[in-house]
Chain A
Amino acid sequence: MKLYSLSVLYKGEPKAVLLKAAYDVSSFSFFQRSSVQEFMTFTSQLIVERSAKGTRSSVKEQEYLCHVYVRNDSLAGVAIADNEYPSRVAFTLLEKVLDEFSNQVDKIDWPVGSPATINYTSLDSHLSRYQNPREADPMSKVQAELDETKIILHNTMESLLERGEKLDDLVSKSEVLGTQSKAFYKTARKQNSCCAIM
């Protein structure tokens, strides 16, 4: 059971703005870590851009699940976890984080913020504490109104895309992904095996 990343974004039009992120890439080998991190940033941004305001979704990609909550005020949170991590806990965490964030960071800073300028420091500790869901908030604090039937499930990343849009193009054009990561992606695709976190 593992939580890989936690990020806070602002769903701007048309692009999503990354405000703050925390990563745990310790389970990847040394030379894979930077690429993994880049892909998680890329994925988080893409998911937020393709999700409507006021929705919760879970996007599955091989052994990974990306949980996203986009609030009506365009503040969004993404948690990337493995298949075993309970989604209920993930959404509770996202709710809590966005709540805390909106109290600490002025709304006016959201559309133009970046991890360097935003002053919100609890994301790393949330990520590490929630590695073990049982040690985190007990079930009683879970939002009673969390209606799981309202969570949109996507079986692949592709289902988020618009007609005619190709993931390959988005990867090539991405400013978040370095050349090495793009090369990894291209070759993995050619071999017909998906890159682990796409």
Chain B
Amino acid sequence: WMLGVKMAAAAASSIRERQTVALKRMLNFNVPHVKNSTGEPVWKVLIYDRFGQDIISPLLSVKELRDMGITLHLLLHSDRDPIPDVPAVYFVMPTEENIDRMCQDLRNQLYESYYLNFISAISRSKLEDIANAALAASAVTQVAKVFDQYLNFITLEDDMFVLCNQNKELVSYRAINRPDITDTEMETVMDTIVDSLFCFFVTLGAVPIIRCSRGTAAEMVAMKLDKKLRENLRDARNSLFTGDTLGAGQFSFQRPLLVLVDRNIDLATPLHHTWTYQALVHDVLDFHLNRVNLEESSGVENSPAGARPKRKNKKSYDLTPVDKFWQKHKGSPFPEVAESVQQELESYRAQEDEVKRLKSIMLLKIRVLAPQRGIIAILGDLNLSVYITCSSLPELLEKKRLIDLHTNVATAVLEHIKARKLDVYFEYEEKIMSKTTLDKSLLDIISDPDAGTPEDKMRLFLIYYISTQQAPSEADLEQYKKALTDAGCNLNPLQYIKQWKAFTKMASAPANYGNTTTKPMGLLSRVMNTGSQFVMEGVKNLVLKQQNLPVTRILDNLMEMKSNPETDDYRYFDPKMLRGNDSSVPRNKNPFQEAIVFVVGGGNYIEYQNLVDYIKGKQGKHVLYGCSELFNATQFIKQVKQFGQS
């Protein structure tokens, strides 16, 4: 029984781990990679396209690639010199362009042997093209292996993934919801999404039970995914869900639940101002595929007329699983982050002082005692001191690196918070979304020249418009529109939201949507009074109370088998069932232990964090979050703005 539980836990092992293992196996010439195996790895060249690059970079660092023997990694469509005595591992999409280039490589005899890996399955005819090129180049024996990797998705966290990056415009919110789309264009969009989701489940090693809402893009994805899984399961020879590929998954006693939701059930969350670290970084900074790009302006802003502004320093940081501070605090409210950086700094200083102390003692011993007592006598002590110093040095250096990193990142975030008064926006929006009475007038905030950019105001107003029960009267609406225009806003997004609101099946407001409260000032004093890195004066120390956003609510209903008008008529698909049965009567009556929530049309870190917080309170349960693309409010508004222009 314990073994079963262990296996079940392993089955929930992160998607990041599984995709990384799959990549490492591929880099090991498609043979399972055994950690700590003796002997040097075989040196090889890695050739990838931009799709492959996006998949690999969040998972494997350059050092890890080198550890696997990758001496050189190059883009497929670049000028590459022949390296005739080295094997090459390719990791690319099976597009015509890529196939042509690979055939060209074969003809030019660039490498010793070729391991061709396709991110998603290659078609038979394209496979024949390669075979023909290999024949023509007399290179058939050199093509050592050809593999479909089924890795066409990007994992960003242990429990979060997106579909793609390079062609995200093809599957964007706009692409799915624009009015002028044809049937064939929609088919292409849906097929692209389904291909990635299929790869995801192959990698996860599980066939899910699928639930989805009706009459939306999510339903179309569900139907196609069910069909694709079903066809693959029936194909006895080529099924990807047999014993060996399942790994730990086959021991899991339960299959995971896949909840497919459409972005249109909740347009407030993509616009919402936020208060937790990772979501804030994504909202206000340039944060993309786990990398944040900071621009540090060094120097005076107000330069006299004619003088050129000082050059800005650019800094990039990767926010990764090995960053312990990030893993601990990426979901924390910002004031807690500021406080924690401060604590880390103090702890670092204390440790640094300790090392300095040990060092000076060591020097003392060498200079004073050794001449007196002889070096042998103090050797033992010295060894110990050296050992203590050296062993803590790497840890200290890493700590310092992280402190510097997060000081810079958190400072950049804080600048935005203070300049735009983001705490005010966050608090007000939380009140609107939870239908609590508002203490300030919306009009006042919009008209306040000191609070927020025009976009911040537009976001606030749109959230109000989306969340309000009673649509504002014509007169009130005109007043708001005027205030927004005076504040510099573009009203195009409002047009789209109006149309959306009239149509969409909206999730009804929950009965107990909690309140955000402000912590008493006392707890902030530490940060404010001890010469902190972060001057949080004027920024409210807001505390988040767990409240379920619409997507979380829907997951809760379906995962716990709760009856709720919102989800009762969701469709039910089980690709393993013999007869294609799309009744919405679930066969499985037990609550699920594992679930994957996938938002068709895009998602963000706020939604992700909400799910993480929700599942934290549930022992033994796991949730993965995925979406067709990740956008912050600015990017979302940009897409929605374009609708109003057609």
Which residues of B have CB within 8 Å of A31?
215-217, 220
With beta carbons under 8 angstroms apart, the residue of B177, B469, B499, B503 that contacts A192 is: B469
Chain B 168-210 interface mask (CB, 8 Å, partner A; 1/0): 0000000011111100001000000000000000000000000
- Interface pair A26/B503, CB less than 8 Å apart: no
Secondary structure class of chain B's binding surface, majority of residues? loop
Given contacts A29-B179, A30-B176, A183-B214, contact A194 B186 (CB under 8 A): no
Determine if B506 is an interface residue (Cβ-Cβ < 8 Å).
Answer: yes
Majority secondary structure, A binding face = loop
A-chain residues with CB within 8 Å of residue B78 when the two chains form the complex = none
Does B569 belong to the interface (CB within 8 Å)?
A: yes
Decide if B576 is an interface residue (CB 8 Å cutoff): no
B177 touches A194 (CB 8 A): no
Chain A residue numbers with a CB within 8 Å of B502 are: 62, 188, 193-196
A190 at interface by CB-CB < 8 Å: yes
> A32 contacts the other chain (Cβ, under 8 Å)?
yes
Does A35 count as interface, using CB distance less than 8 angstroms? Answer: yes
Residue picked from A28, A188, A191, most chain B C-beta under 10 Å: A191
Q: How many A-B residue pairs have CB under 8 A?
A: 54
Task: Return chain B residues, CB-CB under 8 Å to A194.
Answer: 502
**Whole-angstrom distance between the alpha carbons of A183 and B469 in the complex?**
18
Bound CA–CA A183/B177 (angstroms) = 20
B377 at the binding interface (Cβ < 8 Å): no
Min CB gap A157→B, angstroms: 14
B499 contacts A30, CB within 8 Å?
A: no
Closest to A29 in B: B177
Asked if A193 and B180 make an inter-chain contact with CB atoms under 8 angstroms apart, the answer reads: no
CB–CB A26/B180 < 8 A: yes
Chain A 179-198 interface 0/1 with B at a Cβ cutoff of 8 Å (1 = within): 01001100110111111100
For residue B509, which residue of chain A has the nearest CB? A191
Is B372 positioned at the interface, with any CB of A under 8 Å from its CB?
A: no
- In chain B, what residue has the closest Cβ to A35? B215
Contacts of A32 in B (CB 8 A): 503
Quick check: is B330 within 8 A (CB to CB) of the other chain? Answer: no
Task: Give Cα distance in the complex from A31 to B503, angstroms.
Answer: 10
Q: Is the CB of B503 within 8 A of A180?
A: no
Question: In the complex, are the beta carbons of A27 and B179 less than 8 A apart?
Answer: yes
A10 to B180, CA, bound (A): 33
Chain B positions 474 through 517: 1 when the CB is less than 8 Å from some CB of chain A, otherwise 0: 00000000000000000000000001011111101000000000
A196 close to B569 (CB less than 8 A): no
Determine whether the beta carbon of B501 is less than 8 Å from that of A193. yes
Question: When the two chains form the complex, which single residue of A28, A29, A184 contacts B505, counting CB atoms closer than 8 Å?
Answer: A184
Mark contacts of B603-646 with chain A using CB atoms, 8 A cut-off: 1 yes-contact digit, 0 otherwise.
00000000000000000000000000000000000000000001
> Beyond A26-B180, A31-B217, is A184–B503 a contact (Cβ under 8 Å)?
yes
- Inter-chain contacts of B180 with A (CB < 8 A): 26
A171 to chain B, nearest CB (A): 15
- Given that A28-B179, A29-B179 are contacting pairs, would A193 and B471 also be in contact in the complex, using a CB cutoff of 8 Å? yes
Q: Is B37 on the interface with A (CB-CB < 8 A)?
A: no
Bound Cα distance from A27 to B508, whole angstroms: 27
Q: How far is the CB of B97 from chain A (nearest CB, A)?
A: 29
A44, chain B: closest CB distance, angstroms: 19
What residues of chain A lie closer than 8 Å to B123, measured between beta carbons?
Answer: none
List residues of chain A with CB within 8 A of the CB of B216: 31
10 smallest CB-CB distances across A and B, nearest first, come from A196-B502, A180-B215, A29-B177, A187-B505, A27-B179, A193-B471, A30-B186, A30-B181, A31-B216, A29-B179
Residues of B whose CB lies within 8 Å of any CB of A are: 176-181, 186, 214-217, 220, 469-471, 499, 501-506, 508, 569, 646
Residues of A participating in the B interface, judged by any CB pair closer than 8 Å: 26-32, 35, 62, 180, 183-184, 187-188, 190-196
11 more A-B residue pairs beyond the given contacts A26-B180, A192-B471, with a C-beta to C-beta distance below 8 A: A29-B181, A31-B220, A35-B215, A180-B214, A183-B215, A187-B505, A187-B508, A191-B469, A192-B470, A195-B503, A196-B503
